[in-house]
Structure 1
Amino acid sequence: MLTGKLRNQVDKIWEAFWTGGISNPISVIEQFTYLLFIRRLDDIHTQREQVANAIGVPLNNPVFAPGQEALRWHKFKNIDPQQMYERVRDQVFPFIKNLHDADSTFAQHMKDAIFMVPKASVLDLVVQLIDQLDLRDRDTSGDLYEYMLSKLSSAGTNGQFRTPRHIIRLMVAMTAPVLDGDKSDTLCDPAAGTCGFLMAAEEYVRACYGDPVLRHDNDSHFHNRMFTGFDFDQHMLRIGAMNLLLHGVNNPTVAYRDSLSDHGEGNIREAYSLILANPPFKGSVAYDELSPDLLSALGKSPKKAQTRKKTTEHGEEAAEKKGPSEKSELLFLALILRLLKTGGRAAVIVPDGVLFGSTKSHQAIRQTLVDKHKLDAVISMPSGVFKPYAGVSTAILLFTKTGNGGTDDVWFYDMRADGWSLDDKRNALLSEAQQEALNRRLLGEAGEPFEAHEQCNLPDILDRWFAREGEKGRVRSEQSFLVPKEEIVGNGYDLAINRYKQVVYEEVQYDAPQVILARIKALQQAMEQGIEALEGML
């Protein structure tokens, strides 16, 4: 949670870029990220130097080689602005572009990166402002990114760019990523954006298992195989790759890929043990662009677009392709089932329409989750969670890929509060101490009972989730309960919580009609007397 001071500092930096001639919000975030990255590299190198000096050994794995001292943040931040500008443009920026081997995913993303700061005075101002940021707390970097992303005017259209960080952390905590030798998870987000889910998973793993470098087998898996993200927005991927590097993941797989498209033999199958995602759900995708197996999973047969004649405004005839399409949120669920290994698990945000939609595709994917795999939970979230960008009601689906069923009881939870107001302002409802306690719980730490349930249900969700066997005794009028598979099948695989929730109506006692009429007469008399008194004053 960013302090007011830090927000003001970020706002000043944003304004410096904007008044300096960089008006595109994504470009601002990119340039901001490059400079944060440069500063962080210097901090990492300094930390390694301090450790080496403290234990009396040579510096291992330095960021800056001998002869590159001039490229470090603290070496150029106070020099003449024009000299600084030329050094950053001509030496430091090329250095970060070539920081990794040419074959690494980071290098692939950075090869098209452009240094866009237009003049020395703008760079000098921004460097001085960034240098004042207090980024010692790892959480601050994530909050800072979330705040910057909230400034994107495109966030309302591309809601996948920004999932509230506490919701991401909740999903990570519920799936509890593992880093333990051969039992270690391989994580993927097929709609990664800026890699928020992967970074939250990295934080959780470090909090629960400590520094992975302490065990060699864990260290190699953590840095090279544990984290994978796909997206088709190069700008977001570049930011995500840098962000993961800043969080200490040396070689994550962050790749440019349209996850829903048909890649033929390159289609990925059964590759990951855990998938965390908030896929885009604001449109439909034409059949021509899709992998056929995804359509088959939704009970559809691939069809080609039909060419038909269309008359233009000038009276000319032109060919127009018109073909069937399918909703992206359903396609991503089918994709996630394909990507998961048998026994793999997933936590996915979906719009409420997925839970009760009546189309053949909606029913097919729900039936697949319930009958062919193991649907574990449906967490209904309030519509204000994604405000001010969208007011759509959403839910979190948690399921395990089995291929042969396994659904017995599905756990439903009615989330009513997430710690922030549910209006466009999204003001924090928790004190700083309560926020810190919440963050500790979401990082897997045990703690005292959370005393702000009315303001935030997230700790209660975790407590009940990890004690689901005890939920069988709960009645349907409570905030969570279990529903047997047979009942869900009998309701046409409807997964809307209101289908199963028992509403308790409170009996209200009304006065007798004669008493109510007497009150009305008394009010009428008082009105007449008031009117007469008013007339007497005129």
Structure 2
Amino acid sequence: MLDAETKRRIDTARDILVGKVPDPKSQVEQITFALIYKFMDDIDAISEELGGERDYFTGEFTRYSWARLMQPGLGGHEMFNTYDEAIRRMPENGGLPPLFRDIFSNAYLPYRDPETLRAFLKVIDGFTYDHSERLGDAFEYLLSVMDSQGDAGQFRTPRHIIDFIVSIVDPKKDDVILDPACGTAGFLISSYKHILAANTDADGNSTLTPDERKRLARNLLGYDISPDMVRLSLVNMYLHGLVDPHIYEYDTLTSEERWNEFADVILANPPFMSPKGGIRPHNRFSVQSRRSEVLFVDYMAEHLNAGGRAGIIVPEGIIFQSQNAHKQLRKKLLEESLVAVVSLPAGVFNPYSGVKTSILLLDKALARRTDRIAFFKVESDGFDLGAQRRPIEQNDLLRVRREIIAYLQLLREGDAADSTQPASASFVAESRAEYVTEDSRQGNGLTIEKERVAENEEYSLSGERYRETQFFSSEYHMTQLGDICNLVRGVTYRKSDEVGERGLQVLRANNIDKDAHTLDLSEIKHVSRSLDFPDTKKLLKNDILICLASGSKVHIGKVALSLDDTEFYFGGFMGAVRANSSLVYPHYLYYQLRRAQFNSFLREQISGANINNLSAKLLYRFRIPLPPLGVQKEIVAEIEEYQKVIDGARAVIKNYRPRIHVDPEWPMVELGELCTLSSGQHINKEDYNTNGNGIGYLTGPADFGEPYAIVSKWTTRPKTIAKRGDILITVKGSGLGKVNLLREENVAISRQLMAVRVHDAVPEFVYSSLIQMYDHIQDLGSGAAIPGITREDVLRLPIPLPNSEVQHSIITEIEAEQALVHANRELIERFEKKIQDAIARVWGDVRG
């Protein structure tokens, strides 16, 4: 456990360095060099106290000893020169073991300030060498400052996730344990601790013999392509009591030198990303790919001994992407070694990456004994999923760990090998159940036949694809959509077929309002009338238009009901769900597809790389309760009464705009007389993120709310800063003229926006005036492709300016109106809930 004083010293050392060494990785290296330097001198001093001799600082290197470096009276420049020379010459010191010479390879001071060095070394002087767990924990805390170094898809794995995986894979004292992308050696150290803890007597004393300890240390192997990571992992293992660690600088994917070395246990969190152009591996991989995540998993599966086991963290693409290499890899795993998949929350690597990950559990011995794969889901790992990852009470790791271990034990005993029942009493298997609970106190495990996973040769390893998440007790028969409707896919055309107007009209994803579930016919694509589209691809009365493919999962499955026959065709990423009206009332089916449960069902199951696709087969698999037609129509009649109220409330919200009746006697002034204006600046895509790292970043009117902007992106490289109370005005693009208020303290803004900071009027009054000027600003816009207005245009906007009392009076009236409008939003929420309740009744006792 890291004690407060040690943590304080490390933080102080970093604070001293940060002005001269801003890069966290370089800070860690400088602290590492200094700690090892100090500890070598401590070991020499201990040896002398016990009657031995100095090993490290002898002969010509005696003058570099830490004690001499820190002696009172030594001048700043002399201290600097001595230390700088010492760390550069450490690899030449024959008294140092190879480990320490490797650590100091290419060491240097990246700054030239003697006073900074003196202050820094004074802090390091407070550390003392021992082999305690405290010192190892201190170094791991130091390594944690590098979490932001997420280049090339590498992120330090949280210790609680490492320990979770190690406890399940359960490495033994005689196992050869390998991490082929070891980073700072977290998996190897956790394995070492796990084995030590497993080999103690009732009094807590180790039962390992000296030979077993030596063999254990020899069997912990790590590879990393980065010499910096190798150096840090060597130090980390040394400070955890492994004085002769076996970590090698080695390119696992392109080198063949160690290809014929195998392991009993492999544990890893390999890099998720590939360099531009991909990896160029040798030809000994069984799966041909240039994707690093594919090659790493293939390498680990290939390099397990006959009864070998592995725990591997993988990105979402390994689980379901449809490229041939991904499918080939999953097929190999399914047939040879995979026993379980554990889904982790998407925020495990926050704030530095929101990438969704899973754990693959391989066991070559157990995989041969069962024809099923187990799936588990960790909803919470004991921390919230925000940028700060604050501890919370909910933690599924212990329960899921217990369930997995119980399942694996059943496989070893042979009780679960051929079972179609739940693999253990502690979790629910799919078996013959139509639906299984995902949030049950009995657990959330699911076992699926390998044969089903291999269906259509997709080999998807997403447990949600095989899991239906709602528990219900409906009195009506649960019917698959494939039995009551037909999906018609839309028309396809080339870019060159598009025309400006008067062509065939084609509906796309933007023609469905995602929130209102209605048709939005404001922007319709026109294509050449020479195209020969069949009439079956027109949107007909009672068709349910559905989005089948999109670059964003949030649009998949959104629906709108067509109340009439139309002349609109629907595009290739769209479809029409046509109900068999003798079995299901189309309006009833439409309301079922509006349910959040349908979208949840789709979100976890759609597959595809850059475009997410909803296949007919998947759509047809969704089940709904099917009462008699008369009951369906009664339910719809009730819902439509609620819908009328919602439609009316939406009309109020849509049509309301604050309006100021301008008295001709009021003076008119240019906006520039009332404010200062800040023009936004472009920030490169690689310099902003969605993980909460940095300050908020607004890119345009897509981030506007009612009436305040909503931050969904952040940047560590802000340029133009808007402040709380500023008015944001859109000056480029299709949202030209839209305005919003800012309540965040500081936010970066893009070049699509300008920030108006009012100083000689009531800001809310100016804001309302600008809303009223939307059409005027639109008319000012120039530029055929991207309309825009200049800074001068904004500064010249005419603003009516009554006295302050009148401004406040008008704003008071507008705020009263807005309160009534807000009440309509609450009305919508209440009646949407009534609609959901009406549908829920037919499902029975819904608990999902």
* TM-score interval for Structure 1 and Structure 2 normalised by the shorter chain: 0.7 to 0.9
The 5 A counterparts of 1:242-253 are 242-253=235-246
The residue number in structure 1 matching 2:263 is 272
Shift of the 514–111 alpha-carbon distance from structure 1 to 2, 3 Å rule, reads closer
Alignment equivalent of 2:455, drawn from 490, 495, 499: 490
What is the CA distance between 1:379 and its match in structure 2? 0.6
* 8 Å CA contact 2:180, 2:252 repeated in 1: yes
What is the CA distance between 1:395 and its match in structure 2? 0.4
What is the CA distance between 1:505 and its match in structure 2? 5.0
* 8 Å CA contact 1:384, 1:423 repeated in 2: yes
Q: Deviations over 1:266-300 (max 9, x none)?
A: 24224211111111111258688312011xx11x4
The 5 A counterparts of 1:335-374 are 335-371=299-335, 373-374=336-337
Shift of the 257–119 alpha-carbon distance from structure 1 to 2, 3 Å rule, reads same
The 5 A counterparts of 1:170-181 are 170-179=164-173
Shift of the 28–357 alpha-carbon distance from structure 1 to 2, 3 Å rule, reads same
Q: Give 3-state SS (helix, strand or coil) of 2:468's partner.
A: coil
**2:340 counterpart of 1:377:** yes
Alignment equivalent of 1:261, drawn from 249, 254, 260: 254
**2:442 counterpart of 1:477:** no
What is the CA distance between 1:18 and its match in structure 2? 2.7
* 8 Å CA contact 1:71, 1:92 repeated in 2: no
Shift of the 504–35 alpha-carbon distance from structure 1 to 2, 3 Å rule, reads same
* 8 Å CA contact 2:39, 2:128 repeated in 1: no
The residue number in structure 2 matching 1:165 is 159
* 8 Å CA contact 2:25, 2:149 repeated in 1: no
The residue number in structure 2 matching 1:466 is 405
What is the CA distance between 1:84 and its match in structure 2? 4.7
The residue number in structure 2 matching 1:432 is none
Larger Rg: 2
The 5 A counterparts of 1:143-154 are 143-152=137-146
Could you tell me which amino acid in structure 2 is paired with residue 209 of structure 1?
N
The residue number in structure 2 matching 1:207 is 197
* 8 Å CA contact 2:279, 2:290 repeated in 1: no
**2:361 counterpart of 1:422:** no
What is the CA distance between 1:147 and its match in structure 2? 4.5
User: What is the CA–CA distance in structure 1 between the aligned matches of 2:110 and 2:27, rounded to whole Å?
Assistant: 9
The residue number in structure 2 matching 1:14 is 14
What is the CA distance between 1:353 and its match in structure 2? 1.3
Q: Give 3-state SS (helix, strand or coil) of 1:384's partner.
A: coil
* 8 Å CA contact 2:162, 2:187 repeated in 1: yes
Could you tell me which amino acid in structure 2 is paired with residue 350 of structure 1?
V
What is the CA distance between 1:391 and its match in structure 2? 0.7
User: What is the CA–CA distance in structure 2 between the aligned matches of 1:268 and 1:523, rounded to whole Å?
Assistant: 68
Q: Deviations over 1:100-132 (max 9, x none)?
A: 777x46534533233446343222211222344
* 8 Å CA contact 1:380, 1:394 repeated in 2: yes
Shift of the 423–94 alpha-carbon distance from structure 1 to 2, 3 Å rule, reads same
* 8 Å CA contact 1:381, 1:416 repeated in 2: yes
User: What is the CA–CA distance in structure 1 between the aligned matches of 2:646 and 2:113, rounded to whole Å?
Assistant: 76
User: What is the CA–CA distance in structure 2 between the aligned matches of 1:39 and 1:245, rounded to whole Å?
Assistant: 14
Could you tell me which amino acid in structure 2 is paired with residue 17 of structure 1?
L
**2:187 counterpart of 1:189:** no
Shift of the 165–487 alpha-carbon distance from structure 1 to 2, 3 Å rule, reads same
The residue number in structure 1 matching 2:101 is 107
* 8 Å CA contact 1:262, 1:292 repeated in 2: no
Shift of the 482–46 alpha-carbon distance from structure 1 to 2, 3 Å rule, reads farther
User: What is the CA–CA distance in structure 2 between the aligned matches of 1:207 and 1:41, rounded to whole Å?
Assistant: 29
User: What is the CA–CA distance in structure 2 between the aligned matches of 1:160 and 1:36, rounded to whole Å?
Assistant: 25
Question: Unaligned stretches of 5+ in structure 1?
Answer: 53-57, 301-324, 430-451, 525-530
Shift of the 79–379 alpha-carbon distance from structure 1 to 2, 3 Å rule, reads farther
Q: Deviations over 1:348-374 (max 9, x none)?
A: 110111111111111111111111x22
The residue number in structure 1 matching 2:396 is 457
Could you tell me which amino acid in structure 1 is paired with residue 196 of structure 2?
R
CA RMSD of aligned residues (A): 4.1
What is the CA distance between 1:464 and its match in structure 2? 1.4
Decide which moves more: 65-74 or 377-386: 65-74
What is the CA distance between 1:30 and its match in structure 2? 0.7
The 5 A counterparts of 1:23-62 are 23-41=22-40
Q: Give 3-state SS (helix, strand or coil) of 1:382's partner.
A: coil
User: What is the CA–CA distance in structure 1 between the aligned matches of 2:23 and 2:367, rounded to whole Å?
Assistant: 49
User: What is the CA–CA distance in structure 2 between the aligned matches of 1:502 and 1:157, rounded to whole Å?
Assistant: 37
Shift of the 410–404 alpha-carbon distance from structure 1 to 2, 3 Å rule, reads closer
The residue number in structure 1 matching 2:213 is 219
Q: Deviations over 1:397-420 (max 9, x none)?
A: 110246994553322110011111
What is the CA distance between 1:49 and its match in structure 2? 8.1
What is the CA distance between 1:222 and its match in structure 2? 2.8
Q: Give 3-state SS (helix, strand or coil) of 1:348's partner.
A: strand
Q: Give 3-state SS (helix, strand or coil) of 1:194's partner.
A: coil
The residue number in structure 1 matching 2:415 is none
* 8 Å CA contact 1:212, 1:222 repeated in 2: no
Question: Unaligned stretches of 5+ in structure 2?
Answer: 411-421, 429-435, 439-443, 475-594, 596-634, 651-812, 818-848
What is the CA distance between 1:247 and its match in structure 2? 1.5
User: What is the CA–CA distance in structure 1 between the aligned matches of 2:449 and 2:158, rounded to whole Å?
Assistant: 31
User: What is the CA–CA distance in structure 1 between the aligned matches of 2:222 and 2:449, rounded to whole Å?
Assistant: 35
User: What is the CA–CA distance in structure 2 between the aligned matches of 1:111 and 1:89, rounded to whole Å?
Assistant: 13
What is the CA distance between 1:510 and its match in structure 2? 11
User: What is the CA–CA distance in structure 2 between the aligned matches of 1:42 and 1:362, rounded to whole Å?
Assistant: 52
User: What is the CA–CA distance in structure 2 between the aligned matches of 1:132 and 1:511, rounded to whole Å?
Assistant: 77
Q: Percent identity?
A: 29
Q: TM-score, normalization: structure 1?
A: 0.73
What is the CA distance between 1:23 and its match in structure 2? 3.6
User: What is the CA–CA distance in structure 2 between the aligned matches of 1:378 and 1:395, rounded to whole Å?
Assistant: 7
User: What is the CA–CA distance in structure 2 between the aligned matches of 1:236 and 1:92, rounded to whole Å?
Assistant: 18
Q: Give 3-state SS (helix, strand or coil) of 1:362's partner.
A: helix
The 5 A counterparts of 1:233-312 are 233-263=226-256, 266-283=257-274, 289-294=280-285, 297-298=286-287, 300=288
The residue number in structure 1 matching 2:222 is 229
Alignment equivalent of 1:399, drawn from 348, 362, 368: 362
Could you tell me which amino acid in structure 2 is paired with residue 189 of structure 1?
D
Alignment equivalent of 2:293, drawn from 319, 329, 332: 329
User: What is the CA–CA distance in structure 1 between the aligned matches of 2:67 and 2:637, rounded to whole Å?
Assistant: 78
User: What is the CA–CA distance in structure 1 between the aligned matches of 2:197 and 2:355, rounded to whole Å?
Assistant: 33
Shift of the 49–186 alpha-carbon distance from structure 1 to 2, 3 Å rule, reads farther
Q: Deviations over 1:150-170 (max 9, x none)?
A: 444862324424111111111
What is the CA distance between 1:520 and its match in structure 2? 8.5
* 8 Å CA contact 1:381, 1:393 repeated in 2: yes
User: What is the CA–CA distance in structure 1 between the aligned matches of 2:158 and 2:401, rounded to whole Å?
Assistant: 17
Could you tell me which amino acid in structure 1 is paired with residue 227 of structure 2?
Q
User: What is the CA–CA distance in structure 1 between the aligned matches of 2:469 and 2:300, rounded to whole Å?
Assistant: 34
Q: Deviations over 1:506-538 (max 9, x none)?
A: 6899995698599989999xxxxxx9xx99xxx
Decide which moves more: 149-158 or 89-98: 89-98
Higher helix share goes to which structure?
A: 1
User: What is the CA–CA distance in structure 2 between the aligned matches of 1:489 and 1:106, rounded to whole Å?
Assistant: 51
Alignment length, in residue pairs? 460
Could you tell me which amino acid in structure 2 is paired with residue 215 of structure 1?
T
Shift of the 43–262 alpha-carbon distance from structure 1 to 2, 3 Å rule, reads closer
Q: Give 3-state SS (helix, strand or coil) of 1:419's partner.
A: strand
The residue number in structure 2 matching 1:448 is none
Could you tell me which amino acid in structure 2 is paired with residue 363 of structure 1?
K
* 8 Å CA contact 2:131, 2:241 repeated in 1: no
